[in-house]
Structure 1
Amino acid sequence: MTILKVKYRVPATSANLGPGFDSLGLAIELFNYLEMEEIEQGLRITITGEGAGELPTNKSNLVFRAAMAVFKKANKYPSGLRIIQHNEIPLSRGLGSSSAAIVGGVLAANHLIGNPLSIVELLEIATKLEGHPDNVAPAFFGGFVASCLAENSVKYITAHPDNELQIVLAIPDFQLKTKASRSCLPKEVPLKDVVFNISRVACLVGALMKSEFHHLSWATEDRLHQQYRSSLIPGLQEVIQAAKRAGAIASVLSGAGPTMLALSEKDPENVGEAMRLAFKRFGVEAKIVCTKICNNGAKTIDSFS
Protein backbone atom coordinates (compact mmCIF):
# COMPACT_ATOMS: atom_id res chain seq x y z
CA MET A 1 0.00 0.00 0.00
CA THR A 2 1.36 3.42 -0.92
CA ILE A 3 1.06 6.42 1.41
CA LEU A 4 0.68 9.96 0.09
CA LYS A 5 2.64 11.93 2.71
CA VAL A 6 5.12 11.17 5.52
CA LYS A 7 7.09 13.26 8.02
CA TYR A 8 10.32 12.34 9.81
CA ARG A 9 12.62 13.75 12.45
CA VAL A 10 16.29 12.73 12.26
CA PRO A 11 18.92 13.45 14.95
CA ALA A 12 22.35 14.96 14.60
CA THR A 13 25.22 12.59 15.24
CA SER A 14 28.76 12.85 16.53
CA ALA A 15 31.27 10.34 15.18
CA ASN A 16 34.56 9.07 16.64
CA LEU A 17 34.04 10.26 20.25
CA GLY A 18 37.79 10.60 20.53
CA PRO A 19 39.51 7.28 19.82
CA GLY A 20 36.77 5.52 17.83
CA PHE A 21 37.85 6.81 14.44
CA ASP A 22 35.29 5.90 11.73
CA SER A 23 33.67 3.33 14.03
CA LEU A 24 31.78 4.96 16.93
CA GLY A 25 28.87 7.37 16.85
CA LEU A 26 26.36 9.02 19.17
CA ALA A 27 22.91 10.44 18.34
CA ILE A 28 22.23 13.92 19.71
CA GLU A 29 19.00 15.81 20.43
CA LEU A 30 19.39 18.32 17.63
CA PHE A 31 17.19 17.57 14.63
CA ASN A 32 16.43 17.92 10.97
CA TYR A 33 12.81 17.60 9.87
CA LEU A 34 11.59 16.17 6.60
CA GLU A 35 8.26 15.90 4.81
CA MET A 36 7.92 13.81 1.66
CA GLU A 37 4.76 13.70 -0.43
CA GLU A 38 3.77 12.02 -3.67
CA ILE A 39 2.45 14.52 -6.22
CA GLU A 40 1.13 14.14 -9.76
CA GLN A 41 4.42 14.88 -11.48
CA GLY A 42 7.79 16.58 -11.20
CA LEU A 43 10.05 17.42 -8.26
CA ARG A 44 9.51 20.28 -5.81
CA ILE A 45 11.98 20.83 -2.97
CA THR A 46 11.72 23.50 -0.28
CA ILE A 47 14.45 24.04 2.33
CA THR A 48 14.27 26.23 5.44
CA GLY A 49 16.67 26.66 8.34
CA GLU A 50 20.28 25.58 7.99
CA GLY A 51 21.38 25.38 4.37
CA ALA A 52 18.47 27.39 2.96
CA GLY A 53 19.73 29.08 -0.20
CA GLU A 54 22.86 26.92 -0.11
CA LEU A 55 21.64 23.35 -0.51
CA PRO A 56 20.39 22.30 -3.97
CA THR A 57 16.69 22.03 -4.70
CA ASN A 58 17.08 19.96 -7.87
CA LYS A 59 17.88 16.30 -8.49
CA SER A 60 21.32 16.68 -6.89
CA ASN A 61 19.64 17.24 -3.50
CA LEU A 62 20.89 14.59 -1.07
CA VAL A 63 17.46 13.73 0.34
CA PHE A 64 16.17 13.19 -3.19
CA ARG A 65 19.19 11.07 -4.15
CA ALA A 66 18.65 8.90 -1.06
CA ALA A 67 14.97 8.53 -1.90
CA MET A 68 15.73 7.55 -5.49
CA ALA A 69 18.13 4.85 -4.28
CA VAL A 70 15.24 3.32 -2.31
CA PHE A 71 12.79 3.59 -5.20
CA LYS A 72 15.31 1.92 -7.51
CA LYS A 73 16.02 -0.90 -5.05
CA ALA A 74 12.30 -1.54 -4.52
CA ASN A 75 11.46 -0.91 -8.20
CA LYS A 76 8.57 1.29 -7.10
CA TYR A 77 8.43 4.95 -8.11
CA PRO A 78 6.02 7.74 -7.16
CA SER A 79 4.50 9.78 -9.97
CA GLY A 80 6.15 12.92 -8.61
CA LEU A 81 7.70 14.11 -5.37
CA ARG A 82 7.48 17.09 -3.04
CA ILE A 83 10.18 17.35 -0.36
CA ILE A 84 10.14 19.88 2.47
CA GLN A 85 13.25 20.11 4.65
CA HIS A 86 13.59 22.13 7.82
CA ASN A 87 17.16 21.82 9.06
CA GLU A 88 18.45 22.62 12.52
CA ILE A 89 21.74 20.70 12.13
CA PRO A 90 24.49 23.07 10.91
CA LEU A 91 26.24 22.09 7.68
CA SER A 92 29.86 20.90 7.59
CA ARG A 93 30.35 21.20 11.35
CA GLY A 94 30.96 17.55 12.26
CA LEU A 95 27.37 16.91 13.37
CA GLY A 96 26.20 14.49 10.69
CA SER A 97 24.13 16.84 8.53
CA SER A 98 24.65 14.71 5.42
CA SER A 99 23.82 11.52 7.30
CA ALA A 100 20.62 13.09 8.61
CA ALA A 101 19.62 13.99 5.05
CA ILE A 102 20.37 10.49 3.80
CA VAL A 103 18.67 8.65 6.66
CA GLY A 104 15.61 10.89 6.43
CA GLY A 105 15.49 10.37 2.68
CA VAL A 106 15.66 6.57 2.75
CA LEU A 107 13.19 6.19 5.62
CA ALA A 108 10.65 8.61 4.17
CA ALA A 109 10.91 7.11 0.68
CA ASN A 110 10.50 3.58 1.97
CA HIS A 111 7.50 4.63 4.07
CA LEU A 112 5.96 6.45 1.12
CA ILE A 113 5.89 3.28 -1.00
CA GLY A 114 4.65 0.97 1.75
CA ASN A 115 7.89 -0.08 3.51
CA PRO A 116 9.02 -2.82 1.09
CA LEU A 117 12.65 -2.67 2.27
CA SER A 118 13.96 -3.82 5.66
CA ILE A 119 15.89 -1.58 8.03
CA VAL A 120 19.03 -3.58 7.18
CA GLU A 121 18.55 -2.83 3.48
CA LEU A 122 17.98 0.85 4.23
CA LEU A 123 21.12 0.95 6.37
CA GLU A 124 23.11 -0.58 3.51
CA ILE A 125 21.79 2.02 1.07
CA ALA A 126 22.52 4.89 3.48
CA THR A 127 26.03 3.63 4.21
CA LYS A 128 26.82 3.33 0.51
CA LEU A 129 25.71 6.92 -0.06
CA GLU A 130 27.58 8.27 2.98
CA GLY A 131 30.67 6.07 2.58
CA HIS A 132 30.80 4.78 6.15
CA PRO A 133 28.27 3.84 8.86
CA ASP A 134 29.56 5.77 11.90
CA ASN A 135 27.03 8.61 11.47
CA VAL A 136 24.17 6.92 9.63
CA ALA A 137 23.88 4.05 12.13
CA PRO A 138 23.22 6.24 15.21
CA ALA A 139 20.92 8.43 13.10
CA PHE A 140 18.84 5.31 12.40
CA PHE A 141 18.94 3.67 15.83
CA GLY A 142 19.66 6.45 18.32
CA GLY A 143 21.93 6.23 21.33
CA PHE A 144 25.47 4.97 20.99
CA VAL A 145 26.46 2.74 18.07
CA ALA A 146 29.66 0.87 17.27
CA SER A 147 29.76 -0.11 13.61
CA CYS A 148 31.98 -1.40 10.84
CA LEU A 149 31.89 -2.81 7.32
CA ALA A 150 32.48 -6.57 7.28
CA GLU A 151 31.61 -9.35 4.85
CA ASN A 152 30.18 -6.75 2.45
CA SER A 153 27.60 -5.58 4.96
CA VAL A 154 27.22 -3.18 7.88
CA LYS A 155 27.74 -4.71 11.31
CA TYR A 156 26.64 -2.73 14.34
CA ILE A 157 26.04 -2.90 18.08
CA THR A 158 23.76 -0.41 19.81
CA ALA A 159 23.47 0.84 23.38
CA HIS A 160 21.30 3.46 25.03
CA PRO A 161 23.22 5.19 27.83
CA ASP A 162 21.43 6.87 30.71
CA ASN A 163 20.11 10.26 29.66
CA GLU A 164 21.60 11.99 32.70
CA LEU A 165 24.72 12.66 30.64
CA GLN A 166 24.66 16.20 29.27
CA ILE A 167 26.13 17.07 25.89
CA VAL A 168 27.62 20.49 25.27
CA LEU A 169 28.36 21.54 21.70
CA ALA A 170 30.65 24.44 20.83
CA ILE A 171 29.87 25.09 17.16
CA PRO A 172 32.36 27.45 15.45
CA ASP A 173 31.21 30.01 12.92
CA PHE A 174 33.12 28.37 10.05
CA GLN A 175 32.57 25.23 8.02
CA LEU A 176 35.08 22.41 7.59
CA LYS A 177 34.48 19.89 4.84
CA THR A 178 35.18 16.28 5.79
CA LYS A 179 37.47 15.86 2.78
CA ALA A 180 39.63 18.77 3.90
CA SER A 181 39.70 17.48 7.48
CA ARG A 182 40.85 14.05 6.28
CA SER A 183 43.53 15.51 4.04
CA CYS A 184 45.65 16.52 7.03
CA LEU A 185 45.78 12.98 8.46
CA PRO A 186 49.01 11.00 7.98
CA LYS A 187 49.14 7.92 5.76
CA GLU A 188 50.87 5.97 8.52
CA VAL A 189 50.90 6.27 12.31
CA PRO A 190 53.15 4.70 14.99
CA LEU A 191 52.07 1.28 16.27
CA LYS A 192 52.11 2.59 19.85
CA ASP A 193 49.46 5.17 18.89
CA VAL A 194 47.29 2.47 17.33
CA VAL A 195 47.56 0.37 20.50
CA PHE A 196 46.76 3.46 22.58
CA ASN A 197 43.53 4.03 20.64
CA ILE A 198 42.49 0.38 20.58
CA SER A 199 42.72 0.19 24.36
CA ARG A 200 40.73 3.42 24.79
CA VAL A 201 38.03 2.32 22.35
CA ALA A 202 37.53 -0.96 24.20
CA CYS A 203 37.04 0.88 27.48
CA LEU A 204 34.93 3.64 25.93
CA VAL A 205 32.47 1.12 24.50
CA GLY A 206 32.17 -0.59 27.88
CA ALA A 207 31.74 2.70 29.74
CA LEU A 208 28.91 3.88 27.48
CA MET A 209 27.16 0.51 27.38
CA LYS A 210 27.16 0.32 31.18
CA SER A 211 26.62 4.08 31.69
CA GLU A 212 29.77 4.24 33.82
CA PHE A 213 30.55 7.77 32.76
CA HIS A 214 33.42 8.41 35.18
CA HIS A 215 35.65 6.36 32.85
CA LEU A 216 35.11 8.78 29.97
CA SER A 217 37.82 11.20 31.12
CA TRP A 218 40.56 8.87 29.91
CA ALA A 219 38.59 6.51 27.63
CA THR A 220 38.00 9.35 25.13
CA GLU A 221 41.71 10.07 24.65
CA ASP A 222 42.95 9.89 21.07
CA ARG A 223 46.24 9.81 19.15
CA LEU A 224 45.05 9.02 15.62
CA HIS A 225 43.29 12.13 14.34
CA GLN A 226 42.60 15.02 16.72
CA GLN A 227 46.18 16.21 17.09
CA TYR A 228 46.57 16.35 13.29
CA ARG A 229 43.28 18.17 12.75
CA SER A 230 44.21 20.86 15.25
CA SER A 231 46.02 22.68 12.43
CA LEU A 232 42.60 23.33 10.85
CA ILE A 233 40.74 24.12 14.07
CA PRO A 234 42.32 26.96 16.08
CA GLY A 235 42.23 26.26 19.81
CA LEU A 236 41.17 22.61 19.56
CA GLN A 237 43.31 21.33 22.43
CA GLU A 238 42.69 24.43 24.51
CA VAL A 239 38.91 24.02 24.19
CA ILE A 240 39.21 20.42 25.39
CA GLN A 241 41.17 21.50 28.44
CA ALA A 242 38.85 24.44 29.16
CA ALA A 243 35.82 22.14 29.13
CA LYS A 244 37.46 19.76 31.59
CA ARG A 245 38.52 22.57 33.92
CA ALA A 246 34.90 23.79 33.93
CA GLY A 247 33.66 20.39 35.08
CA ALA A 248 33.19 18.29 31.95
CA ILE A 249 34.07 14.61 32.25
CA ALA A 250 35.44 14.59 28.72
CA SER A 251 35.71 16.71 25.59
CA VAL A 252 36.40 15.62 22.01
CA LEU A 253 36.29 16.81 18.44
CA SER A 254 32.87 16.00 16.98
CA GLY A 255 33.37 13.98 13.81
CA ALA A 256 35.65 15.77 11.37
CA GLY A 257 35.00 19.05 13.19
CA PRO A 258 35.10 21.90 13.71
CA THR A 259 32.46 21.44 16.45
CA MET A 260 33.80 20.46 19.85
CA LEU A 261 31.70 18.21 22.09
CA ALA A 262 31.86 17.94 25.87
CA LEU A 263 30.23 15.34 28.11
CA SER A 264 29.16 16.50 31.55
CA GLU A 265 26.97 15.39 34.44
CA LYS A 266 26.56 18.91 35.83
CA ASP A 267 26.72 22.62 34.96
CA PRO A 268 26.57 22.28 31.16
CA GLU A 269 26.11 26.05 30.76
CA ASN A 270 29.38 26.72 32.61
CA VAL A 271 31.16 24.15 30.48
CA GLY A 272 29.78 25.74 27.34
CA GLU A 273 30.85 29.23 28.36
CA ALA A 274 34.37 27.99 29.09
CA MET A 275 34.52 26.39 25.64
CA ARG A 276 33.21 29.55 23.97
CA LEU A 277 35.81 31.72 25.68
CA ALA A 278 38.60 29.30 24.81
CA PHE A 279 37.63 29.47 21.14
CA LYS A 280 37.34 33.27 21.34
CA ARG A 281 40.96 33.53 22.53
CA PHE A 282 41.91 32.08 19.14
CA GLY A 283 39.67 34.46 17.22
CA VAL A 284 36.85 31.95 16.71
CA GLU A 285 33.23 32.75 17.55
CA ALA A 286 31.26 29.68 18.64
CA LYS A 287 27.60 29.00 19.33
CA ILE A 288 26.91 26.89 22.42
CA VAL A 289 24.17 24.25 22.42
CA CYS A 290 23.40 22.28 25.59
CA THR A 291 21.53 19.09 24.84
CA LYS A 292 21.62 15.35 25.53
CA ILE A 293 21.80 11.92 23.93
CA CYS A 294 18.94 11.07 21.58
CA ASN A 295 18.09 7.47 22.37
CA ASN A 296 15.20 7.24 19.88
CA GLY A 297 16.90 7.76 16.54
CA ALA A 298 14.95 8.79 13.44
CA LYS A 299 11.18 8.55 13.79
CA THR A 300 7.91 9.55 12.18
CA ILE A 301 6.23 12.71 13.46
CA ASP A 302 2.93 14.52 13.03
CA SER A 303 4.37 18.02 12.63
CA PHE A 304 7.66 19.96 12.63
CA SER A 305 6.94 21.64 15.99
Structure 2
Amino acid sequence: MRIRVPATSANIGPGFDSCGVAVSCYLYVEVLNSSTRWQVDHSYGLSVPSDQDNLIVQTALKIAPKLLPQHIKVTSDIPLTRGLGSSSSAIVAGIELANRLGQLNLSESAKVKLATQIEGHPDNVAPAICGDFVVASYQGEKVDYVKHYFPDCELIAFIPSKELATSKSRDVLPHELTYQQAVAASSVANVMVAALVKGDLVTAGQLMEQDQFHEKFRGPLVPHLAKIRQISHEQGGYGCYLSGAGPTVIILAPEHKTDKIVPLLRELDNKAAVEIFHIDREGVQVF
Protein backbone atom coordinates (compact mmCIF):
# COMPACT_ATOMS: atom_id res chain seq x y z
CA MET A 1 0.00 0.00 0.00
CA ARG A 2 1.21 3.46 -0.90
CA ILE A 3 -0.33 6.71 0.35
CA ARG A 4 0.18 10.02 -1.46
CA VAL A 5 -0.59 13.37 0.21
CA PRO A 6 -0.22 16.73 -1.56
CA ALA A 7 1.51 19.77 -0.13
CA THR A 8 -0.73 22.73 0.58
CA SER A 9 -0.53 26.49 0.41
CA ALA A 10 -2.67 28.12 3.07
CA ASN A 11 -4.16 31.53 3.83
CA ILE A 12 -3.83 32.86 0.24
CA GLY A 13 -3.54 36.31 1.77
CA PRO A 14 -6.62 37.28 3.82
CA GLY A 15 -8.04 33.76 4.08
CA PHE A 16 -6.16 33.37 7.35
CA ASP A 17 -6.47 29.90 8.94
CA SER A 18 -9.42 29.08 6.68
CA CYS A 19 -8.40 29.05 2.99
CA GLY A 20 -5.98 26.64 1.37
CA VAL A 21 -5.15 24.95 -1.90
CA ALA A 22 -3.52 21.59 -2.63
CA VAL A 23 -0.45 21.73 -4.88
CA SER A 24 1.58 19.29 -6.96
CA CYS A 25 4.29 18.43 -4.44
CA TYR A 26 3.90 15.22 -2.46
CA LEU A 27 4.55 13.13 0.63
CA TYR A 28 4.53 9.36 0.09
CA VAL A 29 4.10 6.65 2.71
CA GLU A 30 4.71 3.06 1.65
CA VAL A 31 3.79 0.16 3.93
CA LEU A 32 6.53 -2.42 3.48
CA ASN A 33 5.62 -5.18 5.92
CA SER A 34 4.45 -5.92 9.45
CA SER A 35 7.07 -5.71 12.17
CA THR A 36 7.67 -6.24 15.87
CA ARG A 37 7.99 -2.46 16.31
CA TRP A 38 7.23 0.66 14.33
CA GLN A 39 10.05 1.45 11.93
CA VAL A 40 10.03 4.54 9.69
CA ASP A 41 12.62 4.79 6.93
CA HIS A 42 13.20 8.39 5.80
CA SER A 43 15.97 10.76 4.77
CA TYR A 44 15.23 13.69 7.11
CA GLY A 45 18.07 12.91 9.50
CA LEU A 46 18.11 12.50 13.27
CA SER A 47 15.80 15.47 13.89
CA VAL A 48 12.81 13.40 12.71
CA PRO A 49 11.97 10.22 14.70
CA SER A 50 12.19 6.85 12.99
CA ASP A 51 9.97 4.96 15.42
CA GLN A 52 6.55 5.27 17.08
CA ASP A 53 7.36 8.91 17.91
CA ASN A 54 7.23 9.87 14.24
CA LEU A 55 4.31 12.26 13.61
CA ILE A 56 2.76 9.95 11.00
CA VAL A 57 2.78 7.00 13.38
CA GLN A 58 1.69 9.10 16.36
CA THR A 59 -1.31 10.30 14.37
CA ALA A 60 -2.21 6.80 13.20
CA LEU A 61 -2.08 5.44 16.75
CA LYS A 62 -4.16 8.34 18.02
CA ILE A 63 -6.88 7.33 15.57
CA ALA A 64 -6.46 3.55 15.92
CA PRO A 65 -4.50 2.68 19.11
CA LYS A 66 -4.62 -1.07 18.44
CA LEU A 67 -2.79 -0.95 15.12
CA LEU A 68 -0.08 -3.57 14.81
CA PRO A 69 3.46 -2.22 14.22
CA GLN A 70 4.55 -1.78 10.63
CA HIS A 71 7.73 -1.07 8.71
CA ILE A 72 7.00 1.96 6.53
CA LYS A 73 9.01 4.10 4.14
CA VAL A 74 8.45 7.85 3.90
CA THR A 75 9.64 9.98 0.98
CA SER A 76 8.69 13.59 0.40
CA ASP A 77 9.26 16.51 -1.94
CA ILE A 78 7.65 18.88 0.58
CA PRO A 79 10.27 21.03 2.34
CA LEU A 80 10.01 21.16 6.13
CA THR A 81 8.97 24.38 7.91
CA ARG A 82 8.65 26.40 4.71
CA GLY A 83 4.93 27.15 4.72
CA LEU A 84 3.85 24.32 2.43
CA GLY A 85 2.01 22.13 4.91
CA SER A 86 4.71 19.56 5.73
CA SER A 87 3.26 18.76 9.17
CA SER A 88 -0.29 18.72 7.81
CA SER A 89 0.68 16.23 5.11
CA ALA A 90 2.15 13.96 7.81
CA ILE A 91 -1.03 14.20 9.87
CA VAL A 92 -3.21 13.41 6.85
CA ALA A 93 -0.92 10.49 5.96
CA GLY A 94 -1.23 9.18 9.52
CA ILE A 95 -5.02 9.35 9.41
CA GLU A 96 -5.13 7.53 6.07
CA LEU A 97 -2.66 4.94 7.39
CA ALA A 98 -4.96 4.26 10.36
CA ASN A 99 -8.01 4.28 8.10
CA ARG A 100 -6.62 1.61 5.77
CA LEU A 101 -4.77 -0.61 8.24
CA GLY A 102 -7.56 -0.38 10.80
CA GLN A 103 -10.32 -0.76 8.17
CA LEU A 104 -12.12 2.25 9.67
CA ASN A 105 -13.91 3.34 6.47
CA LEU A 106 -13.68 7.00 7.47
CA SER A 107 -15.64 9.48 5.38
CA GLU A 108 -14.01 12.56 3.93
CA SER A 109 -15.72 14.79 6.49
CA ALA A 110 -14.58 12.54 9.35
CA LYS A 111 -10.99 12.77 8.11
CA VAL A 112 -11.20 16.55 7.87
CA LYS A 113 -12.59 16.81 11.40
CA LEU A 114 -9.94 14.51 12.88
CA ALA A 115 -7.12 16.28 11.05
CA THR A 116 -8.38 19.70 12.10
CA GLN A 117 -8.61 18.65 15.74
CA ILE A 118 -5.01 17.41 15.64
CA GLU A 119 -3.59 20.33 13.63
CA GLY A 120 -5.66 23.05 15.31
CA HIS A 121 -6.97 24.70 12.14
CA PRO A 122 -8.26 23.38 8.79
CA ASP A 123 -6.54 25.55 6.18
CA ASN A 124 -3.79 23.03 5.35
CA VAL A 125 -5.30 19.67 6.27
CA ALA A 126 -8.63 20.15 4.47
CA PRO A 127 -7.17 20.67 0.97
CA ALA A 128 -4.60 17.91 1.62
CA ILE A 129 -7.55 15.55 2.13
CA CYS A 130 -10.00 16.95 -0.42
CA GLY A 131 -7.71 18.39 -3.05
CA ASP A 132 -8.21 21.67 -4.91
CA PHE A 133 -9.33 24.87 -3.12
CA VAL A 134 -11.02 24.53 0.27
CA VAL A 135 -12.55 27.19 2.51
CA ALA A 136 -13.14 25.95 6.05
CA SER A 137 -13.98 27.07 9.57
CA TYR A 138 -13.35 25.48 12.97
CA GLN A 139 -15.55 26.63 15.82
CA GLY A 140 -15.54 24.62 19.03
CA GLU A 141 -15.70 21.02 17.85
CA LYS A 142 -17.50 21.82 14.59
CA VAL A 143 -15.72 21.88 11.26
CA ASP A 144 -17.44 23.26 8.17
CA TYR A 145 -15.75 23.22 4.79
CA VAL A 146 -16.49 23.78 1.11
CA LYS A 147 -14.34 22.53 -1.77
CA HIS A 148 -14.33 24.48 -5.01
CA TYR A 149 -12.44 24.51 -8.28
CA PHE A 150 -9.44 26.85 -8.14
CA PRO A 151 -9.00 28.77 -11.41
CA ASP A 152 -6.26 27.46 -13.68
CA CYS A 153 -2.96 29.29 -13.29
CA GLU A 154 0.69 28.71 -12.47
CA LEU A 155 1.79 28.79 -8.84
CA ILE A 156 5.38 30.02 -8.80
CA ALA A 157 6.90 29.29 -5.41
CA PHE A 158 9.96 31.08 -4.04
CA ILE A 159 11.23 28.75 -1.29
CA PRO A 160 14.08 30.19 0.82
CA SER A 161 16.84 27.91 2.07
CA LYS A 162 16.28 29.06 5.66
CA GLU A 163 13.30 27.71 7.53
CA LEU A 164 10.80 29.77 9.50
CA ALA A 165 9.18 27.98 12.43
CA THR A 166 5.40 28.37 12.55
CA SER A 167 5.61 29.17 16.25
CA LYS A 168 7.95 32.10 15.59
CA SER A 169 5.75 33.33 12.77
CA ARG A 170 2.66 33.19 14.98
CA ASP A 171 4.33 34.97 17.89
CA VAL A 172 4.40 38.25 15.96
CA LEU A 173 0.62 38.28 15.38
CA PRO A 174 -1.64 40.55 17.45
CA HIS A 175 -3.88 38.97 20.08
CA GLU A 176 -6.89 40.98 18.97
CA LEU A 177 -8.19 43.41 16.33
CA THR A 178 -10.62 46.25 16.81
CA TYR A 179 -14.16 45.79 15.55
CA GLN A 180 -13.45 48.14 12.64
CA GLN A 181 -10.23 46.28 11.76
CA ALA A 182 -12.01 42.91 11.90
CA VAL A 183 -14.80 44.08 9.59
CA ALA A 184 -12.30 45.50 7.10
CA ALA A 185 -10.12 42.38 7.17
CA SER A 186 -13.02 39.95 6.78
CA SER A 187 -14.59 41.96 3.95
CA VAL A 188 -11.36 41.68 1.96
CA ALA A 189 -11.27 37.92 2.55
CA ASN A 190 -14.93 37.52 1.56
CA VAL A 191 -14.52 39.34 -1.74
CA MET A 192 -11.34 37.41 -2.53
CA VAL A 193 -13.10 34.08 -2.03
CA ALA A 194 -16.05 35.25 -4.14
CA ALA A 195 -13.67 36.27 -6.92
CA LEU A 196 -11.93 32.86 -6.85
CA VAL A 197 -15.28 31.06 -7.00
CA LYS A 198 -16.24 33.25 -9.97
CA GLY A 199 -12.92 32.42 -11.64
CA ASP A 200 -11.79 36.05 -11.59
CA LEU A 201 -8.06 35.79 -10.82
CA VAL A 202 -7.43 39.46 -11.57
CA THR A 203 -9.73 40.63 -8.77
CA ALA A 204 -8.73 37.78 -6.47
CA GLY A 205 -5.05 38.61 -6.97
CA GLN A 206 -5.62 42.25 -6.02
CA LEU A 207 -7.53 41.28 -2.87
CA MET A 208 -5.05 38.62 -1.72
CA GLU A 209 -2.45 41.39 -1.48
CA GLN A 210 -4.66 43.45 0.85
CA ASP A 211 -4.58 41.04 3.79
CA GLN A 212 -4.87 42.69 7.20
CA PHE A 213 -4.74 39.57 9.38
CA HIS A 214 -1.13 38.43 9.22
CA GLU A 215 1.11 39.49 6.35
CA LYS A 216 1.84 43.02 7.56
CA PHE A 217 2.90 41.64 10.94
CA ARG A 218 5.03 38.88 9.45
CA GLY A 219 6.64 41.17 6.88
CA PRO A 220 9.81 41.83 8.95
CA LEU A 221 10.39 38.05 9.15
CA VAL A 222 10.03 37.72 5.37
CA PRO A 223 11.90 40.66 3.82
CA HIS A 224 11.82 39.08 0.35
CA LEU A 225 8.01 39.31 0.21
CA ALA A 226 8.00 42.96 -0.92
CA LYS A 227 10.62 42.32 -3.61
CA ILE A 228 8.75 39.31 -4.97
CA ARG A 229 5.49 41.26 -4.99
CA GLN A 230 7.18 43.97 -7.03
CA ILE A 231 8.37 41.38 -9.56
CA SER A 232 4.86 39.99 -9.77
CA HIS A 233 3.40 43.44 -10.45
CA GLU A 234 5.99 44.32 -13.06
CA GLN A 235 5.75 40.99 -14.90
CA GLY A 236 1.98 40.51 -15.01
CA GLY A 237 1.31 38.16 -12.12
CA TYR A 238 -2.24 37.98 -10.82
CA GLY A 239 -1.19 38.27 -7.19
CA CYS A 240 1.42 37.33 -4.63
CA TYR A 241 1.07 36.06 -1.06
CA LEU A 242 2.91 34.51 1.85
CA SER A 243 2.26 30.76 1.85
CA GLY A 244 1.09 29.58 5.26
CA ALA A 245 3.33 30.95 7.99
CA GLY A 246 6.15 31.47 5.46
CA PRO A 247 8.83 31.92 4.42
CA THR A 248 7.69 30.56 1.02
CA VAL A 249 6.08 33.20 -1.17
CA ILE A 250 3.81 32.26 -4.07
CA ILE A 251 2.97 34.21 -7.21
CA LEU A 252 -0.18 33.28 -9.12
CA ALA A 253 0.47 33.95 -12.79
CA PRO A 254 -0.71 33.13 -16.31
CA GLU A 255 1.30 30.30 -17.85
CA HIS A 256 2.90 32.54 -20.49
CA LYS A 257 4.38 34.79 -17.78
CA THR A 258 6.48 32.15 -16.01
CA ASP A 259 9.47 32.41 -18.37
CA LYS A 260 9.93 36.04 -17.34
CA ILE A 261 9.15 35.68 -13.63
CA VAL A 262 11.22 32.60 -12.73
CA PRO A 263 14.67 33.99 -13.74
CA LEU A 264 14.03 37.19 -11.82
CA LEU A 265 13.13 35.24 -8.68
CA ARG A 266 16.29 33.16 -9.00
CA GLU A 267 18.35 36.33 -9.17
CA LEU A 268 17.02 37.38 -5.76
CA ASP A 269 18.72 34.51 -3.94
CA ASN A 270 20.74 31.76 -5.61
CA LYS A 271 20.27 29.55 -2.54
CA ALA A 272 16.50 29.65 -2.72
CA ALA A 273 14.48 27.13 -4.73
CA VAL A 274 12.01 28.35 -7.33
CA GLU A 275 9.35 25.79 -8.23
CA ILE A 276 6.32 25.86 -10.50
CA PHE A 277 3.36 24.04 -8.96
CA HIS A 278 -0.03 23.13 -10.35
CA ILE A 279 -3.26 22.63 -8.46
CA ASP A 280 -3.72 19.09 -7.14
CA ARG A 281 -7.40 18.31 -7.71
CA GLU A 282 -7.53 14.92 -5.94
CA GLY A 283 -6.15 15.26 -2.40
CA VAL A 284 -4.93 12.20 -0.51
CA GLN A 285 -4.77 9.05 -2.64
CA VAL A 286 -4.02 5.39 -1.91
CA PHE A 287 -2.43 3.09 -4.50
The answer for the alignment partner of 2:55 in structure 1 is: 62
Q: What does 1:174-213 correspond to in 2, within 5 Å? A: 174-213=162-201
Structure 1 position 142, deviation (Å): 0.6
Deviations 1:32-87 (A, max 9, x none): 11113551421111013xx3443211222110011101213xxx422x21121001
Structure 1 position 187, deviation (Å): 2.1
The answer to whether the 8 A contact 2:7-2:25 is kept is yes
Structure 1 position 125, deviation (Å): 2.0
The answer to whether the 8 A contact 2:108-2:130 is kept is no
The answer to whether the 8 A contact 2:32-2:71 is kept is yes
* CA distance in 2 between partners of 1:129 and 1:257 (Å): 21
Structure 1 position 201, deviation (Å): 1.2
Query: Higher mean Cα deviation, 197-206 or 88-97?
Result: 197-206
* CA distance in 2 between partners of 1:119 and 1:217 (Å): 30
The answer for the alignment partner of 1:3 in structure 2 is: none
What SS does the corresponding residue of 2:49 show, helix, strand or coil? coil
Alignment of 1:268 with 2:262, yes or no, is no
Alignment of 1:143 with 2:129, yes or no, is no
- State which of 5, 12, 36 in structure 1 corresponds to 2:7: 12
Structure 1 position 293, deviation (Å): 1.0
Structure 1 position 298, deviation (Å): 0.9
The answer to whether the 8 A contact 1:12-1:29 is kept is yes
Structure 1 position 151, deviation (Å): 5.1
Query: Higher mean Cα deviation, 182-191 or 85-94?
Result: 182-191
Structure 1 position 204, deviation (Å): 1.6
Identity %: 33
The answer to whether the 8 A contact 1:169-1:272 is kept is no
- State which of 217, 235, 242 in structure 1 corresponds to 2:205: 217
- Length, aligned pairs only: 285
The answer to whether the 8 A contact 2:205-2:252 is kept is no
Query: Higher mean Cα deviation, 213-222 or 184-193?
Result: 184-193
What SS does the corresponding residue of 1:42 show, helix, strand or coil? coil
The answer for the alignment partner of 2:109 in structure 1 is: 120
The answer for the alignment partner of 2:231 in structure 1 is: 242
Deviations 1:160-199 (A, max 9, x none): 224x311000000100110000111122334443233212
Unaligned runs of 5+ in 1: 1-5
Unaligned runs of 5+ in 2: none
Query: Higher mean Cα deviation, 38-47 or 88-97?
Result: 38-47
What SS does the corresponding residue of 1:231 show, helix, strand or coil? helix
* CA distance in 1 between partners of 2:179 and 2:232 (Å): 29
* CA distance in 2 between partners of 1:56 and 1:271 (Å): 38
Letter aligned with residue 234 of structure 2: R
The answer for the alignment partner of 2:156 in structure 1 is: 168
Deviations 1:86-123 (A, max 9, x none): 01100000000000011011112211222343333322
The answer for the alignment partner of 1:44 in structure 2 is: 39
Query: Higher mean Cα deviation, 148-157 or 103-112?
Result: 148-157
Coordinate RMSD, CA, aligned: 1.8
What SS does the corresponding residue of 1:45 show, helix, strand or coil? strand
What SS does the corresponding residue of 2:70 show, helix, strand or coil? strand
Provide the TM-score with structure 2 as the length reference: 0.93
